[in-house]
Amino acid sequence: MLPNHIEDCMKIPFLMTIGALLVSGASGQLPGGIRYVSMGSSYAAGPGVGTPDHASGACGRSMSNYARQVAGWHHFDLVDVACSGATVDTILVHGQHGFPAQIEAVTPDTKLVSILIGGNDVGYVGNLLGLSCRDSGGTACHVGDAAEVARRLAALPGRLDRVIAEVRHRAAGARIVLLGYLPAVPASGGRDCVGLPLSPADIGWLRGVSIRLARVIGQAAVRNHVGVVRSSLIGAGHDVCSTTPFVTGFHPPRNPGWSRPVAYHPTQAGMDRLAAALDAAIAD
């Protein structure tokens, strides 16, 4: 049985102002026409949101994900290589779904790179899905081992450092912004929420994983002196169980433009807020 909490994960140090916690980045407005590369996993790609980019195939990129919105506002030359299921390895080592490693999109003339990665490396969404399947009576449910998740979380800082270092190697002058994952699990409670069919123990454990993931991403940004969008704070009060969720529940309605519903992923409202936050980060 999975532990119901991870005590050292339940507090995030507040060392800056609220505005700086939400978004922070390097100074200087970026001009229109620059090359902007968006890398990351499904939370960056946006499956199930708006209209699909059919050319993206199984990567499931949306025409209204946060990168498309920001690029449209500023007339950036966007190269969107975010892909559902991505990990640090599919950014740096090998591609997926017939596409090359995402890092190949970063060229010397790239001026902006946004990165949202790490959730699949630690099995965050996979365990949300697997535990929801199990706790709602399913039998063919894949649930990860808690000790393995902890091990992967411990390894993630170094993996994020390598992504940032490789971007800088390929595009020394690029501005880099890390984005975190919008929270699916409420900060407290949630057991009676239809969209989150989890036991109290599993809710507590996943809440802890989410907090640690947010902390690792935020600390990577500070450590490497890059911008950051602190999605865990932007999404506070907009979890699956809220009246205005930024993340879908376990059984979301299907967007007619997509072949299937996508559970525990950003809604259009969530994408819109991430776009606004990223825009603020690059405008600082």
- At 86, which CATH number? 3.40.50.1110
Is residue 1 domain-resident? no
Residue type for 128, please?
A: L
State the catalytic residue, choosing from 38, 42, 62, 64.
Answer: 42
**CB contact set of 12 (below 8 Å; sequence gap of 6+):** 211, 214, 215, 218, 232
The rounded distance, in Å, linking the Cα atoms of 46 and 269 is 11
265 is catalytic: yes
Identity at 175, one-letter amino acid code: R
Q: Which of 41, 62, 210, 265 is catalytic?
A: 265
User: Is 53 part of a structural domain of the chain?
Assistant: yes
The domain of 31 spans 7-283
Is residue 2 in some structural domain?
Answer: no
- Residue 160 included in any domain: yes
The pLDDT tens digits along the chain (284 residues) read 444 433 333 333 333 333 444 554 444 578 889 999 999 999 999 999 999 999 999 999 999 999 999 999 999 999 999 999 999 999 999 999 999 999 999 999 999 999 999 999 999 999 999 999 999 888 889 888 999 999 999 999 999 999 999 999 999 999 999 999 999 999 887 666 889 999 999 999 999 999 999 999 999 999 999 999 999 999 999 999 999 999 999 999 888 889 899 999 999 999 999 999 999 999 87
Q: pTM here?
A: 0.89
User: How many domains, the chain?
Assistant: 1
Residue 172 CA from chain centroid, whole number = 24
Three-state secondary-structure class, residue 241: coil
Strands in 35-40's sheet, in edge-to-edge order, are 23-24, 227-229, 175-179, 110-116, 35-40, 77-80
